[in-house]
Amino acid sequence: MPNSAALRRSLLASLLAPLAVLLLGGFSFVPPTPRVALQEATVQQESFAQQESKAQPETTAQRETTAQQETTAQEVVVIQNGNLVNVVDGTVAEGVSVVVEGRIIRSIEAAGFEPPAGARVIDVGGRWILPGFIDTHTHIRTLDAARRALHSGVTTVRSSSVDAFQDVGLRELVRAGVLPGPDMVAAGIFVTPELGQALLADPRLIPLAGGVNTHEELRLLVRVNAERGVDVIKTRGTERAGLPETDPRQQVYDEAQLRVVVEEAARHGLEVQAHAHGDEGARAAVLAGVRSIEHGTYLSRETLELMRERGTYLVPTYSTVVDLTQPGGDYDDPVLRVRGSHMLPRLAETVRMAHEMGVPIATGADTSYGPESLLRVSHEVRRFVELGMTPMEALRSATIVGAELLGRADTTGSVEPGKEADLIVVERSPLEDIGSVEDVLVVVSNGQVAVNRLPFGLGSH
């Protein structure tokens, strides 16, 4: 691992560099991304290590000793005596122990397993073990917001745009082990006609101050995002629902424009998520080849059928529209409450229809996890059951289906040996009481025990 102090300096420098560029005025320096800084620090350390190895060749015995030391240095955590929900095959294993070594699930042991000496043991007393939740639609911009998401049981998130590449920085902090989680799939800057404050994110965006509409303007914004190290591109097919002055049914980009975004993203190995409430904008996005439709309030059966045929995911963010109707919610506005009252029945119909047709549906809370936000993935899970999913189907939407959408089903989304140790513990069976997912007692993310709310005497010993 790179020297932690050097890594922190590299990350800090990369985050502050854009501000320095603006203050100095016109200097054409392009700051390295946090990913590049991390790679450079790693390469530098490897170079030193290679020089040492040339000077003093390592024997086989020394290599074996080093490997043993590295293995024993990893903390072993045992989540003992729990009922494990397998979201892959729909079964439950009672009284098992999940053995975690470092960041990885090493094994799942049957009842009566004796933890190894020196392991940290958390006896969950017959409570229920689930995979960590995946929130596929977030706007996390701060360290505190990342912590709130993690404490709610979310161990992986997909950003749906921020205004200054904060999601890229958060991703690298988690990868470096500075934060336990959640793992971040970064989207960077929204590919949308008007960038607003996001123009300050990178000096290369200055030519887009007049708008992002032509094919070349669209390509430029995608390229800047890619060069800053994002993992996915976010664009739009329709206007927003969360502003009183906009019409969420109104199409913004046409199919040709959206295809430019998808094709330019593909050149950089990236997929695209598309904000779309109205059917016309959503259909254009599906035809252009996006990976997922975000919201999808007014989708027609024909567009849903097209999504099913193409494997396009739906992230309905249903709880957000519920929130529109609530006074004191994230969107506390009388105009939006009226709008939400019209949108909610239509979105409920869309989610039911998509589920019946076999369109893959993933959970997304569409929140920045601010200090006063009540939106959580657990609410979305409960709402999905109200809309006709079985509890197991809703849990799958919040775990393995989300992992499949992000292309990470081989590393997370289920509690299995060899996968990342991302799991949560709840009090009661969510298969009988889906509301139990709203009270998360233990959170393990990347092998680190991030939360342990179990009562004294029943938790860690």
How is the chain split into domains, by residue range?
4-70, 73-130, 131-438
Q: Tokens 């100095």 identify what position?
A: 24
Per-residue CA distances from 218 to 194, 206, 223 (Å): 11, 13, 9
Q: What is the pLDDT averaged over residues 57-71?
A: 42
Q: What is the pLDDT averaged over residues 431-454?
A: 97
- The three-state secondary structure class of 28 is coil
CA atoms of 304 and 252, how far apart (whole Å): 20
Q: Higher-confidence residue: 48 or 145?
A: 145
- Side-chain half-sphere CA neighbours of 104 within 13 A: 9
Across 59-63, 125-129, 283-287, least confident range: 59-63
Q: Retrieve residue 56's tokens.
A: 């003093």
CA atoms of 267 and 216, how far apart (whole Å): 14
- The three-state secondary structure class of 387 is coil
Contact present, 227 and 183 (Cβ < 8 Å)? no
Across 60-74, 402-416, 433-447, least confident range: 60-74
Residue 372 pLDDT grade (very low, low, confident, very high; cuts 50, 70, 90): confident
Q: Tokens 């076999």 identify what position?
A: 358
Residue 13, number of CB atoms within 10 A of its CB: 14
Across 14-18, 200-204, 310-314, least confident range: 14-18
Q: Higher-confidence residue: 32 or 454?
A: 454
Residues 6+ apart with CB under 8 A from 288: 255, 258, 259, 261, 262, 274
Q: Which of 397, 430, 389, 390 is nearest to 413 (CA)?
A: 397
Across 21-35, 77-91, 199-213, 269-283, least confident range: 21-35
Peptide bond into 57 cis (omega under 30): no
55 pLDDT higher than 90 = no
Fold of 131-438: TIM Barrel (3.20.20)
290 pLDDT higher than 60 = yes
- The three-state secondary structure class of 224 is helix
Residue 73 pLDDT grade (very low, low, confident, very high; cuts 50, 70, 90): low
Q: What is the CATH number of domain 73-130?
A: 2.30.40.10
Residue 59 pLDDT grade (very low, low, confident, very high; cuts 50, 70, 90): very low
Angle between helices 34-55 and 166-175 (to 10 degrees): 30
Q: Which helix (H) or strand (E) holds 386?
A: helix 377-386
Q: What is the pLDDT averaged over residues 77-105?
A: 98
Q: What share of the chain is helix, strand, coil (3-state, %, to 5)?
A: 40, 20, 40
Residues 390, 395, 400, 404, Cα dihedral to 10° = 70
128 pLDDT higher than 50 = yes
CA atoms of 74 and 52, how far apart (whole Å): 25
Residue 74 pLDDT grade (very low, low, confident, very high; cuts 50, 70, 90): confident
Across 69-83, 98-112, 238-252, 323-337, least confident range: 69-83
Tell me the whole-structure pTM to 2 decimals. Answer: 0.84
CA atoms of 445 and 150, how far apart (whole Å): 8
Q: Which helix (H) or strand (E) holds 262?
A: helix 255-267
What is the share, in percent, of the chain residues with pLDDT greater than 70?
Answer: 83
